[in-house]
Structure formats: structure tokens, C-alpha cells
Amino acid sequence: MSGSTTHLSLWRQQLGRVPEAVWQQADLETLVLADNALAEVSERIGELSRLRMLDLGHNRLTRVPEALGSLPSLTDFLYLHDNRLTSLPASLGRLTRLRYLNISQNAFGTLPDALSEMVGLVELRVEDNHLASLPDWIRQLARLRELSVRNNRLATLPESIGRLRELRQLDLRGTLLCHVPEVLATLP
């Protein structure tokens, strides 16, 4: 791992831990560490200041590093699906230009508050968690075009969801909803 690499995929390499050499790749723009049985990721990930896309899906993470919130270029994709996460650090709220976030297949009981500041999100996937409700602050994600909350314990939706004027796709399959707010009918 030497030279100037901008894309690094270590997908399904059974690493168990991230090699230290990865953190020395300062030019990385995309990093795929999916499906490696990772239980942790070093705070050194904050050194990858050019990172635009990060895939940490299909691992064993119970937490993500605070340093993720210090990645100013992380704008394209952040995949954290299929882990063991129950919360996200508040620092992730600084990712205001991130467009796609997938936190599906974890153990979230509530939508992490850090997401309320991710105002650049266009697509949010929170499938297969334990959400019983969506917070009222969901309205702050005004650029959201796709929201997938399928296979959660949702029984109601907040009226504020009607403020998502860009919303084009809302996946509610596999929830406990008996009715949806009338305000949804006013969305384009």
C-alpha cells in the first residue's frame, strides 16, 4: 500500500482489524472495509481528510469513531449497515454535506440525534432496526428524497414529515402503521 491511491477496496478480506498502513493513505477518496469482521475502527480514520465515500457495512461494530465527524470531504456515501450499532457519536452531525447514509440492520431504538444536523442528506436508510417512532426533527432533513424505514416498529409518523417537500420515496413496509398523516398526501 504505497504511492498515491485514491480508491481502496479491502472488501471481504477477513481482516479482523484495519491494517495501520490504511491510515497512511492520505489521498484516499473511497475506502471499502465491508465484510471484514471488524469490531472497531481506529480514530486515525480522521487522518483521511479527502475521504468522500466510506463503507463499514457487514462488520461487528458496536460503535463508530468520533473522528468520522472530522472528515470534511465525506459527502457521497457512508455505509454503516449490518453492524451492532445502537447509537452514533454527536460528531457525525458535522457531516452536513453527506448525501447518502445507510444505518440499516443495526439495533437503533431511536434515530440518532446526530442525524438532525445532516441537512445535506438526500437518501436515508434505517431498515431493520427497532425504531418505534421518528423524531419531530425529521423535518430538518429538507433535502431528503428517499427515506426507508421498513421493518421497524413504527406505529405512527410525526406530522412534521409533511415538511419534507423533496421526498419522493417513503418505504414503510413491515411497520406497525395503521394510518399515515394526511399531510403525506400533500407531498409532491
pLDDT, tens digit, 9 for 90 and up, residues 137-175: 999 999 999 999 999 999 999 999 999 999 999 999 999
Alpha helices in 6-152 (DSSP H): none
What value does the mean pLDDT take over residues 5-30? 94
b/e burial code for range 33-59 (CB count within 10 A of at least 16 → b)? bbbbebeebeeebbbbeebbbbbbbbb
Would you state the pLDDT for residue 181? Answer: 85
Distance CA 9, CA 78 (A): 14
Q: Is the pLDDT of residue 4 over 60?
A: no
7-186 has CATH 3.40.50.410 classification:
no
pLDDT, tens digit, 9 for 90 and up, residues 62-99: 999 999 999 999 999 999 999 999 999 999 999 999 99
Contact 66, 85 (CB under 8 A): no
